[in-house]
Chain A
Amino acid sequence: MIKTEKVLHLKSSRGRKVRVVREHYLRELVPCYSSLCQAECANEGKVLSADVTHYVVPDAGVTRDFMEILEFREIQGLVFTQTACQAVQHSRGRRQYNRLRSLLKDPRHDCVLFANEFQEYSYCPREKGEPQDKWQTRCVYQAAVWYHDHLAGLKPVVMITEDQGAVAEYSSLNCGVYVLSTLEYLRTFWPELQAAHELYGSIAQALRERGNEGTEREFAEHLPAEVLEAGIKSGRYTQGTLNVNKHRAQHEAFVRFDGSSNKNSELDSDVLVWGGKNRNRAVHGDMVAVELLPKGEWRGRTTALTEGQGEEKGEESQGQPMPTGRVVGILQRNWRDYVVTFPPREETQSQGRNSLRILATPWDQRIPKIRISTHQADTLQDHRVIVRLDSWDSTSLYPNGHSVRVLGRAGELETEVQTILIENCIHIAPFSEAQLREMPASSPERPWTVDPAEVVTRRDLRDTHLVFSIDPRGCEDVDDTLSVRSLPPGPQGPRLELGVHIADVTHFVKEGTLTDLEARARATTYYLADRRYDMLPAVLSADVCSLLGGVDRYAMSVMWDLDAQTLQVNRVWYGRTLIRSSYQLYYEQAQALLNGEEAEVPELAQLPPEERDHKLSHLIEALETLTQVARHLRAQRDQGGALELEGVEVRAQLDEDKNITALVPRQPLEVHETVAECMIYANHWVARKIQERFPQQALLRHHPPPRQEFFTQLQDSARALGFTIDTRSNKALADSLDQAVDPQDPLVNRLLRVMATQAMSNALYFSTGACPVDQYYHYGLALDRYTHFTSPIRRYADVIVHRLLTAAIAVEEGARPAKASASNKELEEMAQHINNKNRAAQHAQKVSMELFQCLYFRDKDPETAECCDAVIYAIRTNGVLVFIPQYGLKGALYLRNREGQVVRVSQDGRCVWEAGSLQRSLDHVSTTTASGTSTFRLFQHVTVRVSVQTSRCHADTLHLELVSNRAHRAPEPPDRTPRAAPPQGTRGRSQLVQEVVRQAEEALLQAEEKKGRVSELSKEEREFRQSKTPNLYSLLEEVREQALLDLTACGAVGGGPDLGTAARPCATSA
């Protein structure tokens, strides 16, 4: 190694210039990562393939500005230089740099990093007075030349740069090393890659436009990073994530702190950022630094319900003043791809002088309009387009962006569904050839069979155990099966063996393969209202991995040796097995067998009667034992405080036109719960096992206890009805919820449970090394350790857990694990990734459900539109929030309209709009007009009419209108009656399961109907434990969108002692 020195001029913390000398070591052997290498470099990991026509070396400027083009998978043989990467890191921040890093790590993309600055011969020291970009270009060129020489001239090397001077200067210096501009490069080598050309044009246009901006300043300049950092350390500024209020996107935004960074202990709530000037160009999701305004300028949050925008009037009802601040700087932009809608031509023209620039409205209301420079404004009008933000200067009112891809015309189903995916950052490409080539072969003619070599290493349960699965009818991807049998009595008495057998996905999906990478990127199967995107290719999920009846399959098993009476666990066995499922039952069938009713069992249809009866009784006995065990397990968890929560239940059926045609309530069966309980048990025991074996790096799932403040609404509402809800622990909460039953109105208990659910936080995956042991607790299930193990076909977390379990077993048997398992840090990153993806999946599912709801109501005639029953569950200053059990909808009901008129209920229950005032108190709201007063109380039933408000740029929304203050007495469809039964006994218990089941099922059902095939229902039962999660999350989201939770809950946090009253002072508005 040779030591040299590098002189840098940096700024010191006090802003003075400092000369810093850093050492810089050069070496001769820097791996080139090319498979053509003649010098035997130590090339580990990814190498450039040899079968490309040339290698391409982008310079720092190209890497910085045109990385999106380099991300095209078609462009192969990319050599990034260290110089370019560092330039990206310095000028574009960590996010862009991480994107580059993940690109480099992605084995599907043919690109490598060459550490040119550490190579003795390719390093060139910066000369005195040489500008940085010139030096960078020179370095990159030097690296390109070295690379060419190193490969002994076997491949031509192309360097691309935007610097025309460099093209002229270097292009004829060396033969074999070509210097081209990006445009020329694309034209020469990729003339057919149309998308890249368009993207190039769009980015270049945006870059050009950025140059000639006006100079009038619209916003205050952001402070430089050093000042921000110092300010945050000293407590002068506070750091947090900007959240824009969806309903008042123009004005209201909150900065939420990330726990640790907040040293300012008096500031434990969010900070309000009011108005566009104070927000200072921050966009929703950015990490910002805020400075608090003096107390005199603090404002409260708006508590009234708003109908769309533009009705911000002078009279605003505000909550208590809360800390208010302004954004002084942005620490990290968090821009993603946004979907925007181009305005129609008339609007474009009225925009004046420069018709090249279009202001497009993002689909997400929280994002400001984006200015886009394009020549295609005419062809794109009313289209939805993916846009990336480039910059937002202090001289501009709107951010600049460039278009990336056109999705289609607004309002078309396909466009809308794509929009939902993009907005949730879900990118799904079909499985590639290479991925499918990794799959085991299986076709109807030549089904896949077990490998004899595997049979030896696995425990064979085919002849010894009665294994069966219980799933929704028609399920294809069976990922769990059960078995139960009695064992010879031990010293303590009779024993039972309970087994849970899960599809052995990790046998087929090896770590690091292309399928594995794809599955990891997807992290979960996505269920939308009308389709689903699988995590694994169909050959695995529906065939080779699926534990179908009557065929041999690999499984991962957990088997407990239990005491038959007390269900004490004597021994647990974990391991890989070979099983053959004897019966593939469905829920209704299993329940019928349990109830002693006649049920058709197709597996037995062919057998002679005696044998059939014998086998049938055997099966029924197993089912009964299983039910016993599950009841016992549930009782144990109930004692620990397990919660039954309630989501909004709706299951929509689609016809061929994808309209919602019916709402089918699920009949909850005890057998759902039985299966769920066994899965929870298996997950729990696997969690124990991997956590014991890998105390620092096991993937578990925890559910943090909710913050007490979030229960305020629940407690207030319950008090209005005379119930008390004790929220001190999960046990207390579960007990008091069980008691809060109004015999007249079963909905009351349901709504209270919904509210309790809203108060919950989400369950999350985490790595055990990243969390203290006392935070492992799962609040909802009342278990000290929990993970996901039972659905590897549709969740990547389960795949990781399977690998951990396999490693744990291997270690126990004394084998050294072949490969070190992921470190705590990697696992924690992975957990975060999966959490984010799950959140995105749930949100996408919810939004797509709403989309279909809107389609359903849109097709109805607004005049004859269905009136339905709704229940008031929360009170706001100018309206109430209602829940419509028939459709599982929640929405806002306005009692005052834009003209200031209020609703009055006449004698016959009809409603009319009249001038008057609105009075709000804790448990009711009343309207007073010249002709009388009408009152709306909490939990009162009213009749509403549902209609659709269409919106060009955003998603359509549902609009509710009050029809009468009496309960809707339309002839109830008979199938709705069971819903009204009080949620007690088995019914209450199975709600948990039921609700879980509902979710996946509806998605699947619809997907299936769409394809016009016979049902292929999902397996979601296994989902239960987290079953709640989708709902929890979607509920929270819903609430947030209606500005409920963040009003009361967050207000409560800030309000200190006045927790409960955060919303109260505004009652006198109007």
Chain B
Amino acid sequence: MAGLELLSDQGYRLDGRKATELRKVQARMGVFAQADGSAYIEQGNTKALAVVYGPHEVRMSRSKTLHDRAVINCQYSMATFSTAERKRRPHGDRKSTEMSLHLKQTFEAAVLTNLYPRSQIDIYVKILQSDGGNYSACVNAATLAVIDAGIPMRDYVCACTAGFVDETPLADLCHAEESGGGTSLALALLPRGGHIALLQMDARLHQDHLETLMEAAMTACKGVSKVLDQVVRQHLQEVSALTGE
């Protein structure tokens, strides 16, 4: 179809949101008892599950051991049923390797790794349903899982995407918007200090617009962080109620 209208003249997006509105975010922590930390998040129709093991001693190969801090090991995968067309997704294909690497970089910037020398932290993330913004859902899920595991971080890492259509920045793109052409920028932010943990964009964008786009992405990330914070607090309340006083 020749070009969906991503932003109508009245300022509505395809799914009825306005330019700066996020999709609905729902999350739960501690979904698996077996793991050290786990979390499940839904950002609109994108659903991700994150599991954290560690810190534990380095199991991969001894040579990877770092003597001043912990190694972070990330693995990203997508379920075969996560997209509209069922498709086998082998481990270690280029896309997921790249995504794993991005996650690793993001969390190396956020986790206080130097507290755990010579150890390893494993973060496994799986996309259960994909509808745009896979990276940001993974980061947000992993943040919750890391918190659930009790591993100290500098701050929440909140991620969100932003796109640019008709000179207007759009927050939190869905799949139709991501694939409809145009720019998409993914940003992982440590919201309290405003530090950027990761910034990724692989389409062309005029330099003049970069600032407005980043601004929009940052605002969106801060919005996500509020939701996450609420989830964490609620989870703590529940847990403390269960364990009794």
A, B assembled together: yes
**What is A's interface to B at a CB cutoff of 8 Å?**
1, 3, 5, 12, 16, 18-27, 31, 82, 89-90, 93-94, 101, 104-105, 113, 115, 117-118, 225, 229, 331-332, 696, 823, 825
Q: How far is the CA of A26 from the CA of B24 in the complex (A)?
A: 12
User: B242 an interface residue at 8 Å Cβ cutoff?
Assistant: no
User: B14 an interface residue at 8 Å Cβ cutoff?
Assistant: yes
User: B3 an interface residue at 8 Å Cβ cutoff?
Assistant: yes
For residue B131, which residues in chain A have a CB less than 8 angstroms away from its CB? 21, 23
How far is the CB of A466 from the nearest CB of chain B, in Å? 45
12 of the cross-chain contacts (CB-CB < 8 Å) are A25-B15, A25-B17, A26-B16, A27-B16, A93-B2, A101-B9, A104-B9, A113-B10, A115-B8, A115-B10, A225-B2, A332-B2
Give per-residue flags for B8-43: 1 if the beta carbon is below 8 A from chain A beta carbons, else 0.
111010111100010110000000000000000000
For residue A26, which residues in chain B have a CB less than 8 angstroms away from its CB? 16
Partner of A21, one of B1, B10, B45, B166: B45
How far is the CB of B29 from the nearest CB of chain A, in Å? 21
Partner of A1, one of B21, B84, B174: B21
Return the 4 tightest CB-CB contacts between A and B, nearest first: A25-B16, A118-B16, A18-B84, A3-B24
Add 20 more A-B contacts to A20-B84, A25-B17 (CB < 8 A).
A3-B24, A16-B85, A18-B84, A18-B85, A19-B84, A21-B131, A22-B14, A24-B15, A25-B15, A25-B16, A25-B21, A25-B24, A31-B10, A93-B2, A101-B9, A113-B10, A115-B10, A115-B12, A118-B16, A229-B2
Q: How far is the CA of A12 from the CA of B9 in the complex (A)?
A: 28
User: B202 an interface residue at 8 Å Cβ cutoff?
Assistant: no
Q: Tell me if A823 and B2 are in contact (CB < 8 A).
A: no
Q: How far is the CA of A27 from the CA of B16 in the complex (A)?
A: 8
How far is the CB of B1 from the nearest CB of chain A, in Å? 7
Q: Tell me if A331 and B2 are in contact (CB < 8 A).
A: yes
How far is the CB of A38 from the nearest CB of chain B, in Å? 21
For residue B174, which residues in chain A have a CB less than 8 angstroms away from its CB? 22-23
For residue A823, which residues in chain B have a CB less than 8 angstroms away from its CB? 167
Given contacts A22-B14, A23-B44, A25-B17, contact A89 B5 (CB under 8 A): yes
Q: How far is the CA of A104 from the CA of B10 in the complex (A)?
A: 11
For residue A89, which residues in chain B have a CB less than 8 angstroms away from its CB? 5
Count of inter-chain pairs, beta carbons less than 8 A = 66
How far is the CB of A85 from the nearest CB of chain B, in Å? 9
User: B93 an interface residue at 8 Å Cβ cutoff?
Assistant: no
Q: How far is the CA of A20 from the CA of B83 in the complex (A)?
A: 9
Q: Tell me if A22 and B166 are in contact (CB < 8 A).
A: no
For residue B10, which residues in chain A have a CB less than 8 angstroms away from its CB? 31, 113, 115
Q: How far is the CA of A82 from the CA of B15 in the complex (A)?
A: 13
Q: How far is the CA of A115 from the CA of B1 in the complex (A)?
A: 22
Q: Tell me if A225 and B1 are in contact (CB < 8 A).
A: yes
Q: How far is the CA of A825 from the CA of B131 in the complex (A)?
A: 30
Interface of B is mostly: loop
How far is the CB of A18 from the nearest CB of chain B, in Å? 5
For residue A3, which residues in chain B have a CB less than 8 angstroms away from its CB? 23-24, 44
- For B, the interface residue count at a CB cutoff of 8 angstroms equals 25
Q: How far is the CA of A547 from the CA of B135 in the complex (A)?
A: 64
How far is the CB of A364 from the nearest CB of chain B, in Å? 27
User: B245 an interface residue at 8 Å Cβ cutoff?
Assistant: no
Q: How far is the CA of A117 from the CA of B3 in the complex (A)?
A: 20
Q: Tell me if A23 and B23 are in contact (CB < 8 A).
A: yes
For residue B1, which residues in chain A have a CB less than 8 angstroms away from its CB? 90, 225
For residue B84, which residues in chain A have a CB less than 8 angstroms away from its CB? 12, 18-20
Q: Tell me if A5 and B45 are in contact (CB < 8 A).
A: yes
Given contacts A5-B45, A225-B2, A825-B166, contact A22 B16 (CB under 8 A): no
How far is the CB of B164 from the nearest CB of chain A, in Å? 12
How far is the CB of A337 from the nearest CB of chain B, in Å? 24
For residue B201, which residues in chain A have a CB less than 8 angstroms away from its CB? none
For residue B23, which residues in chain A have a CB less than 8 angstroms away from its CB? 3, 23
For residue B12, which residues in chain A have a CB less than 8 angstroms away from its CB? 115, 118
For residue A16, which residues in chain B have a CB less than 8 angstroms away from its CB? 85
Q: How far is the CA of A93 from the CA of B5 in the complex (A)?
A: 12
For residue A24, which residues in chain B have a CB less than 8 angstroms away from its CB? 15-16
- Residue among A21, A25, A82 with the highest chain B CB neighbour number at 10 A: A25
Q: How far is the CA of A518 from the CA of B184 in the complex (A)?
A: 39
For residue A105, which residues in chain B have a CB less than 8 angstroms away from its CB? 9
How far is the CB of A335 from the nearest CB of chain B, in Å? 17
Given contacts A16-B85, A23-B174, A89-B5, contact A825 B15 (CB under 8 A): no
User: B176 an interface residue at 8 Å Cβ cutoff?
Assistant: yes
How far is the CB of A907 from the nearest CB of chain B, in Å? 68
For residue B14, which residues in chain A have a CB less than 8 angstroms away from its CB? 22
User: B211 an interface residue at 8 Å Cβ cutoff?
Assistant: no
Q: Tell me if B15 and A23 are in contact (CB < 8 A).
A: yes
How far is the CB of B106 from the nearest CB of chain A, in Å? 26
Partner of A94, one of B2, B8, B17, B166: B2
Partner of A117, one of B16, B24, B85: B16
- Residue among B9, B12, B16, B85 with the highest chain A CB neighbour number at 10 A: B16
How far is the CB of A114 from the nearest CB of chain B, in Å? 9
Q: How far is the CA of A283 from the CA of B5 in the complex (A)?
A: 27
For residue A115, which residues in chain B have a CB less than 8 angstroms away from its CB? 8, 10, 12, 16
Q: How far is the CA of A18 from the CA of B17 in the complex (A)?
A: 24
How far is the CB of B81 from the nearest CB of chain A, in Å? 12
Q: How far is the CA of A420 from the CA of B131 in the complex (A)?
A: 53
For residue A94, which residues in chain B have a CB less than 8 angstroms away from its CB? 2-3
Task: Considering the complex, give the chain A residue whose CB is closest to the CB of B176.
Answer: A22
Q: How far is the CA of A93 from the CA of B2 in the complex (A)?
A: 8
How far is the CB of A92 from the nearest CB of chain B, in Å? 12
For residue A101, which residues in chain B have a CB less than 8 angstroms away from its CB? 9
Within 8 A of A (CB), among B63-104: 84-85
How far is the CB of B7 from the nearest CB of chain A, in Å? 12
How far is the CB of A331 from the nearest CB of chain B, in Å? 7
Q: How far is the CA of A225 from the CA of B1 in the complex (A)?
A: 7
How far is the CB of B128 from the nearest CB of chain A, in Å? 13
Q: How far is the CA of A118 from the CA of B16 in the complex (A)?
A: 6
How far is the CB of A647 from the nearest CB of chain B, in Å? 40
For residue B15, which residues in chain A have a CB less than 8 angstroms away from its CB? 22-25
Q: How far is the CA of A27 from the CA of B23 in the complex (A)?
A: 13
How far is the CB of A382 from the nearest CB of chain B, in Å? 41
Give per-residue flags for B172-206: 1 if the beta carbon is below 8 A from chain A beta carbons, else 0.
00101000000000000000000000000000000
Task: Considering the complex, give the chain B residue whose CB is closest to the CB of A12.
Answer: B85
Q: How far is the CA of A332 from the CA of B15 in the complex (A)?
A: 27
How far is the CB of B85 from the nearest CB of chain A, in Å? 6
Q: How far is the CA of A284 from the CA of B118 in the complex (A)?
A: 74
Task: Considering the complex, give the chain B residue whose CB is closest to the CB of A228.
Answer: B2
Q: How far is the CA of A744 from the CA of B229 in the complex (A)?
A: 93
- Residue among A5, A23, A24, A823 with the highest chain B CB neighbour number at 10 A: A23
Task: Considering the complex, give the chain B residue whose CB is closest to the CB of A10.
Answer: B84
Q: How far is the CA of A104 from the CA of B9 in the complex (A)?
A: 10
For residue B85, which residues in chain A have a CB less than 8 angstroms away from its CB? 12, 16, 18
For residue B9, which residues in chain A have a CB less than 8 angstroms away from its CB? 101, 104-105, 113
How far is the CB of B178 from the nearest CB of chain A, in Å? 13
For residue B3, which residues in chain A have a CB less than 8 angstroms away from its CB? 94
How far is the CB of B208 from the nearest CB of chain A, in Å? 7
Q: How far is the CA of A27 from the CA of B13 in the complex (A)?
A: 13
Partner of A825, one of B17, B21, B24, B167: B167
Q: How far is the CA of A334 from the CA of B176 in the complex (A)?
A: 28
Q: How far is the CA of A20 from the CA of B5 in the complex (A)?
A: 18
How far is the CB of A563 from the nearest CB of chain B, in Å? 38
For residue B17, which residues in chain A have a CB less than 8 angstroms away from its CB? 1, 25
Q: How far is the CA of A90 from the CA of B17 in the complex (A)?
A: 21
Q: How far is the CA of A113 from the CA of B12 in the complex (A)?
A: 12
Q: How far is the CA of A22 from the CA of B16 in the complex (A)?
A: 11
Task: Considering the complex, give the chain B residue whose CB is closest to the CB of A824.
Answer: B167
For residue B167, which residues in chain A have a CB less than 8 angstroms away from its CB? 823, 825
Q: How far is the CA of A272 from the CA of B3 in the complex (A)?
A: 29
Task: Considering the complex, give the chain A residue whose CB is closest to the CB of B17.
Answer: A25
For residue A93, which residues in chain B have a CB less than 8 angstroms away from its CB? 2
Q: How far is the CA of A104 from the CA of B8 in the complex (A)?
A: 12
Task: Considering the complex, give the chain B residue whose CB is closest to the CB of A695.
Answer: B208
